[in-house]
Structure 1
């Protein structure tokens, strides 16, 4: 057991001293013995992240070593060359003396602050070195010191009795005063000069600890002891280990290792006219783990500040970084997702789940959800475009119903056109579902509503294109007859739409679209989007519509030479090309992981573009013809254009177009080699509704019963 703290606390106290005065750029010189190396390693470990070492020099511990002076000089040169103004010396007193004398010779240490290890912090002869005041401030730690009442008077009056000899005093004088060399210095009065009365305080504490242990074993009170004085030594040891007593206002007790826990005294070598004296300026208390200055020495906090520091204080939002123990600490800005909210944090803290931070952040914040808000610019544009589209659809529907008996509307097939308008109306409405915060039902409805509605529209166009193809394409009569049997407009549209419905049903059952909060791995924004669920389902749905559109394009392209008055091949080709082009442009944005926030915007725009392509190509021109070009829309005008087309393809034959719409060919023109497809192309007018009462002519075409050359 010891009445001093464990040695492991010494290095902790030294590091706390450095951090208390903000000495973070320090040099260290240590001995190559076990004590010096162990203390050096302990200092490095405890100072990591708090103190940076400008240099680390090792000096031989042995005074008779052949290179001792050379190594000391190298250490002094390193101290002089370094920018560090604080130097820790973990050396025996004799080596410290050599260093001080070299520094005094060059007068280069007046601004240096020296930190003393316990091996020389209380070594009196060092305080008497000539010109010791030229050395800078010296700080260190000693074991707790105090004054022993009456001890100074005891030393003053310590005299051997006349004719007697005190061998203890003689031995002490010889050891401390070298009496054999300088007998003049060996008076008894010199004891007061060489004995530090405070240093022996720990002996007093030890005696009190033993006394309290004996008192406990012997069960003593203020007047007597009641127990047997015959006890084994181990019992006294156990009793002393458990004592807890107060002396001079301080409580003393042993820890589990048998060491006192009272801490250390912080000392400073104070300058005087005759050298230095050692004074206590503060304490290091183990319980608090902090250096505390005595009240009368608080000015030291400002007077011992160094000019050069390795590190300025790291502000909140950054942390201290140490790559090794011999370089400066640098302030590292906290990266995204980390933060510090205090000064000089050793590391940045990770943000909790569902929170994030930007660089150099002092706190974490909840992610900002991003989606198409109703009040933002682009959603407003989508709403305006949708409203205009719905108005166009509704207006077209009214015009088609009002003017359903006109040739233009009849040729457009009113029933199929109404299905197209219904699909377009729902398709425009589906755009609204892309605005606002998504939820699972809304995500499912986005795809299902658009998929079914646009399939209905494209299916109706496909049926129209198929009818034109079968009517005007030059085919084998038998093949053409069989193809005509497949033309069942309502059934065809229904079956094609049901096919899309089956695709959507499987998609929604097995891997339905759902809400997804996607973070682009940077920033404070998380995008709330609709995840398509099964990519295969998403691709098949759009692929099905694209396939129908492509087939429409093929049918219309193969009969593109038919007069536009009698079919929609031109507008079908153009509208389907627009649709295919729009969705092809959508693919690269959709598969690009960095375009997360653009996916729903692009898809809504693609829906609008496809819908507008159809309404503007198929309906708006016809509505214009019906309302503002009635003369060109008359039956006679249309029949005139048909006559010119047929005349171009039957050049060299006799034809006659009657006012009632009858066209007569010279008998035998088929046998004379006139192109059969030109004759058959006249069948276009058969697309007029059979209930047309405004014209006496219901069909114009070549039939088996009119091979005499008259086309009805």
Structure 2
């Protein structure tokens, strides 16, 4: 839903005192044009703002006719003006040399259908919607919308064209889903952070028995479920949980409010959390005031800064009120801008015209109300709530500066860029404003914390004061009343809400990890098997079995497997640049050496039983075991050498702001180098497989083809499975590749050596003699 819902601001009397009469409200209609303000520019920013809060006769709408919007909303109007003021500030500062930012502001009228119509209008290009990437829409980015329901609907449309959308108030957690809302960003945290902050407030004040009242909309349901879970985690118990209809014209709204008031009155819980829109809180408080019921109230962001509530009659009766609101800030010069509202050169702003008509139009002493000004807006609204609009506009400006490659004198980049390019820059943007660092996290949110507010009694009204902040990640405070939290020193870090910093923990494929221990045990078994095979083959080196198995090539294969096993061990433990390079090189060269020897064995068998004599004679010229092994391994050596020279593997630190862990992992550098190294081994294995299949009709007693086929199938299957797992499991890459290496090595050991060891040790010498072999060959 939505931050700091102040729809009540729309009822502030623009002439100075009481609320507008019902008859006056009914006459506050805008023109039926889609968008009410615009200013030309080289790059245009769109703004979706609910400058009106209702769509007239919406329930009677039976055909696609124009929307008629009513009830002018001061807060949204001022927020839209904050975007204009920030754009003017950026243009005047020369931040984007040679580039003028323009804007177009369209009214959503607080309704999703109207917002979609306005969005489609802003996306039009030459009266048509963009279809292909090369057709640019009218705007390159959109700021808005205010309410989560509206933002969700708009985000579906903008996600189709990948137009960046930055909301300053919509906080519902479902908008974190980048699959459904790929181009949505926001300058506030999501409600997942808010519910944790609410639970922390309960813990801080030792409130362990609380009631909850929430709305039945998507915001209320999601926030409720999040708070129930977070409250359980910190052992805060829920005394009751009541739900009110979100829509103000619900038939049972008054009855439900009295039922909820009864429940609050009868419960012994002295603390009540209200996750409601401000209008519902006002109706509930009216009942509380009438009954003289006092409790401690906790305000969600939707009403924690509501001035109409703070000024309502009898508000001091209800008890203490605490709440959380989004981090706000100052916008120097904005108050003067509001006190001297004018339309700049080439600009059109019907919203200003309508505001001045409402404010000054009934004064007979002002013949031209459009030229009149005063400081009403600076007192009628909380200007600090427009800080998010300032930050959102500057975020777009910084992203444009990077995209257009701006320097101190000009911006040489292409101005007619597709919006998705700006979206990519926005996701990477990181800038400092008012001594605060801003950037979007992986979910497209700003993790900039919350204010803790207290509604202090002042006469018969309440004054909303900020009494504390929730510390952003990487900051801390050990004293009160600091204007900003302190940054963690000397490489230390803190999580949100911490009062001190700590050293982060390095996370890698550790020796103590159970899987690492298992992998090392299996690798040790592999080394032991190779040693046993070596001893057995040395003993039976004069047997026909040894010669059929490859003779001295077996020792070379074992040497390659030993190097490969050694590379697998280097995947365990704290990595550094040298280990990252050595482990890939050891595996690449070691396993290539083994497969090259197997290729020689396969080629020999293929030639020996090739039926075409001429072809056999021609191919026999290519049979040079030493040259084949050296050439095949040397090619892999060159691949690894070029890889190491141009973009070698190195250690990468993956640091998350929401974690105390620093993940150390080897970045393989050039994906081309890594891919070519693995692909080259796969090509050799595939050649072995093909030749072995062609030579599979060799006399079965001493046939190597079946073992070669099986070992190569194991290798290819393992590495085909390895690729998608390696790509998707970033933190587990070391374990995944080490496992693939060990399994591949065991495939060769089991297929090429164990059966020969069995024949050497367990068969009669006469049965495996050369004479027996020749007799069986003749029988074949």
- TM-score category (smaller protein): 0.3 to 0.5
Query: What TM-score does the superposition give when structure 1 sets the normalisation length?
Result: 0.44
When Rg is computed on C-alpha atoms for both structures, the one with the higher figure is: 1
Provide TM-score, normalisation by structure 2. 0.41
